[in-house]
Amino acid sequence: MAQQQVVELGYGGNERLMMNMGPQHPSAHGVFRMILTLEGEAVVAVEAVIGYLHRCHEKLGETLTYVQYPSIASKTDYVAAMTAELAYVSAVEQVGKVEVPKRAQYLRVLVAELQRIASHCLWLGTWCMDMGGALGGGATVFLYAFREREMILDLFEALTGARLLYGFHQVGGTRYDLPAGWDARCRETIAFVERRIDEYEAMLQGNAFFLVRTQGVGTISRELAQEVGVVGPLIRGSGVNYDVRRAKPYSSYEDFDFAVPVETAGDCYARYRVRMTEFRESIKIVRQVLDGLPEGPISSRPGVKSVGQVRVAKGEGYAPIEGPRGEVGCYLVSDGGPKPYRLKWRGASFTNLSILPHILPGHKVADVVAIMGSVDPVFGEVDR
């Protein structure tokens, strides 16, 4: 159980209250415990306790073969299962120097970007719910965002037969090709989602209450962001232009034209702006993929005959990808067998969550949940 360092403000002379938030708490996005020390409403110290959802993922990865594990990998970050699987197979392919056909690479980009839209929908809904409450204004946005997320999950269901944990990727390519009519349906869906995003922005950014709750709250300075090593929308919201898709293009990302949104304020609102822009950029990428999808095989290793079929040469490697929450990657050591010798996950949520004790002190209790929501942690990925 990792215990994070307690950051404490100076003692103000007032009576203090220790309060547990979690492990079961309505605002927790999973099982996460914060031991808050309060002076009235103000938070003076935070102790974050994680580990309630630990499922020995890395050990499990060592006992399952390269054919079996991708569908388990999706259970690390279950909100963005497509990118979690992609991280694992990318690492295997890098170590084993496996070629991936162009069409499979494009399909991977397609599902990864759709997954980013779906994941951001969940973030938007739950974050607004954190600020407005299940019975409050937030639930309205929550239900709207879930309507759009459902549409994307329907697309995934048509593609893979599953709605949450897909098993879409396999070493050397993808397992499924697009079914007939999927292309048109996907275009329709993203056009719909695009219109809805305008609606959300109008609804939230024109709302003075939303602005006072997000602007200037939970500010992460550029230095702090780099020091702690947060990734994804958090670091881009703090003015650092870092996106794995741009920095180290994988899976043919260099073929597509997209912008990496960067905001300099570093507060909750900046992170919100980054993610809202990412919605649009993802939609742009999806359109480009659908337009330029090449013909050809979808895997360099078609057909699975046995679970031990894939063997990877001796070696080790790390292949980062940009998930919805930031850089996700697997460090993989192979001894030449059908299973990895050692597997290490690097989850974006884990590093992003470690920013909390640095930024929470000094805020009010209500801000704790707002900041927590803007970090967008998925505890499957934090605890693994």
Partner 1 sequence: MTPIAYHALAAFIVLNAVILMVTYVTLLERKFTARMQSRIGPYYVGWPHGWLQPIADALKLMMKEDIVPTRADRWVYNLAPIAFLIPCVLIFATIPFAPGLGVADLNIGVLFFLAVSALEIVGLFMGGWGSNNKYALLSAMRAVNQIISYDLPFVFAALVPVLLTGSMRMSTIVDAQQGLWFVAYPVIGQLAFLAFLVATLAAENRVPFDILEAESELVAGFRVEYSGMKFALIQLGEYAHMLGASFLGALLFLGGWLGPGPAWLGPVWFIVKAMLVFLVVTWVRWSFVRIRVDQILAVSWKLLLPATIVLLLVTGLVVALGGPGGA
Query: Distance of alpha carbon 384 from its chain centroid, rounded?
Result: 14
If binding is defined by CB under 8 A, does position 137 make contact with partner 1?
yes
Q: Which stretch binds partner 1 (CB under 8 A): 38-46, 55-63, 269-277, 297-305?
A: 38-46
If binding is defined by CB under 8 A, does position 38 make contact with partner 1?
yes
CB 47 within 8 Å of CB 357: yes
Q: For residues 85 and 83, what is the distance between their CA atoms, to the nearest angstrom?
A: 5
Site for partner 1 in 272-291 (CB under 8 A): none
Question: Which residue is it, tokens 């739950």?
Answer: 126
Question: What letter would DSSP give residue 179?
Answer: P
If binding is defined by CB under 8 A, does position 35 make contact with partner 1?
no
**Residues contacting residue 8 through CB under 8 Å, at least 6 positions apart:** 37, 44, 45, 361
Task: Pick one of 186, 244, 369, 382: the residue that binds partner 1 (CB under 8 A).
Answer: 369
CA angle 272, 274, 279 (to 5 degrees): 95
Task: Pick one of 6, 9, 19, 56: the residue that binds partner 1 (CB under 8 A).
Answer: 19
Q: For residues 148 and 146, what is the distance between their CA atoms, to the nearest angstrom?
A: 5
Task: Pick one of 86, 121, 129, 190: the residue that binds partner 1 (CB under 8 A).
Answer: 129
- Closest distance to partner 1 from the beta carbon of 206 (Å): 11
Question: Which residue is it, tokens 């590093």?
Answer: 351
If binding is defined by CB under 8 A, does position 364 make contact with partner 1?
yes
- Closest distance to partner 1 from the beta carbon of 70 (Å): 35
Question: What letter would DSSP give residue 36?
Answer: E
Pick from 281, 311, 84: nearest CA to 197: 281
Task: Pick one of 164, 184, 212, 313: the residue that binds partner 1 (CB under 8 A).
Answer: 212
Question: Which residue is it, tokens 């034209």?
Answer: 257
Q: Which stretch binds partner 1 (CB under 8 A): 109-117, 138-146, 152-160, 334-342?
A: 138-146
Pick from 143, 345, 348: nearest CA to 244: 348
State the number of binding residues for partner 1 (CB under 8 A): 38
CB 125 within 8 Å of CB 141: yes
Pick from 33, 27, 36, 42: nearest CA to 7: 36
- Closest distance to partner 1 from the beta carbon of 18 (Å): 8
Site for partner 1 in 69-128 (CB under 8 A): 128
Q: Which stretch binds partner 1 (CB under 8 A): 142-150, 184-192, 291-299, 333-341?
A: 142-150
- Closest distance to partner 1 from the beta carbon of 245 (Å): 32
Site for partner 1 in 284-323 (CB under 8 A): none
If binding is defined by CB under 8 A, does position 202 make contact with partner 1?
no
If binding is defined by CB under 8 A, does position 376 make contact with partner 1?
no
Q: Which is nearer to partner 1, 29 or 346 (CB)?
A: 29
Q: Which is nearer to partner 1, 124 or 321 (CB)?
A: 124
Task: Pick one of 12, 26, 294, 296: the residue that binds partner 1 (CB under 8 A).
Answer: 26
If binding is defined by CB under 8 A, does position 180 make contact with partner 1?
no
CB 33 within 8 Å of CB 22: yes
Q: Which is nearer to partner 1, 141 or 220 (CB)?
A: 141
Task: Pick one of 57, 169, 213, 245: the residue that binds partner 1 (CB under 8 A).
Answer: 213
In order, the DSSP letters of 62-115 are: HHS-TTTHHHHHTTTSGGGHHHHHHHHHHHHHHHHT----HHHHHHHHHHHHHH
Query: Distance of alpha carbon 7 from its chain centroid, rounded?
Result: 26
Q: For residues 70 and 315, what is the distance between their CA atoms, to the nearest angstrom?
A: 19
Q: For residues 117 and 113, what is the distance between their CA atoms, to the nearest angstrom?
A: 6
Q: Which residues lie near partner 1 (CB under 8 A)?
A: 17, 19-21, 25-27, 38, 40-41, 128-140, 143-144, 147, 203, 207, 209-210, 212-213, 364-369
